[in-house]
Amino acid sequence: MKKEAKLTRTILTIGLLVLTVSSATAQDPKEIIRRMEDNMRGDASYSEMTMKTVRPRYTREITMKSWALGDDYSLILVTAPARDQGTSFLKRGNEIWNYVPNIDRTVKMPPSMMSQSWMGSDFTNDDLVRGTSSVDDYDHKLLGSETIDGVDCYKIEMIPHPETPVVYEKVIYWVSKSNYLPVKLENYDEYQELVSTILFREVKKLGGREIPTIMEMIPQERDGHRTIITTHKMDFSINLNRSFFSQQNMRNVR
């Protein structure tokens, strides 16, 4: 009986230790962001999207394709409308390039251009092409929990490292506790003023994973302005290598 009691206590101790370690890992804000990024991106991915830019007097829509390999390589191709077809954006590490087919020219984008509007939308170049890493280029702080539209979320503050070239001086993420997906994001400037809000909605299974299929950017001080990106297709099984993400392929990818 003593041996059985000792064995039971040992098993309970191990079980409690595992639960404690798992709980600590889940509560680590950097790990939460890492899991969120992995769920959204995977090792490699291909997607097809529509971006609708809404203004008080008009609405503009473009379609695009995107390829990504980890956090360092991405390629976005605009497929419509006709006047923008073939425009592409390439990220390789910290370098970002833009190819404009109308003038057959490839331009390296300096840091000063990262805060500019992407294709006339409310997203900046940095929002879409991602010149920084949400995991490696920020300090993370868990601010607590908050419910957003009925979803229980971790609330995480992200402050960029001093040497990191960024558009925003602070980012706050709300990440779902149940599936580690983004629910809401707020961007702040150097004066700690809210610049914009991104809402993530309509979680669906695409490419074998559940992801939010709608991402809506709402600028803080522009009434009637918003930009909505809808993802129609995702493939997380695509085989990509670094050679795919080249300036030459910016011109040829379809």
Q: Domains, the chain, ranges and CATH?
A: 28-252 (2.50.20.10)
Helices (H), the chain: 2-27, 29-41, 125-129, 247-252
Provide the pLDDT for residue 13. Answer: 44
Q: What amino acid is encoded at 114 in this protein? A: M
pLDDT digits (tens, 9 = 90+) for 119-159: 999 998 878 776 667 888 899 999 999 999 999 999 999 99
- Pairwise CA distance, residues 143 & 30, whole Å: 12
Rounded-to-integer distance, Cα 227 and Cα 54, Å: 6
**Whole-number percent of the chain with pLDDT over 90:** 72
Which pLDDT value is given to residue 137? 87
Looking at residue 25, what is its pLDDT? 46
| Residues in Cβ contact with 36 at an 8 Å cutoff, skipping those fewer than 6 apart | 173, 175, 180, 181, 182
| pLDDT at residue 111, rounded to an integer | 77
Taking 50 as the pLDDT cut, the residues of the chain under it are 3, 5, 7-8, 10-25
Helical residues (DSSP H) of 96-246, grouped into ranges: 125-129
- Exposed e or buried b for every residue in 104-139, given b needs 16+ CB within 10 A? eeeeebeeeebeeebbebbbbbbbbbbbbbbbebbe
Q: Which is nearest to 74 in space by CA: 52, 49, 105, 101?
A: 49
- Predicted TM-score (pTM) of this structure: 0.85
pLDDT of residue 212: 97
What is the predicted pLDDT for the residue at 21? 39
Residue 19: predicted pLDDT: 38
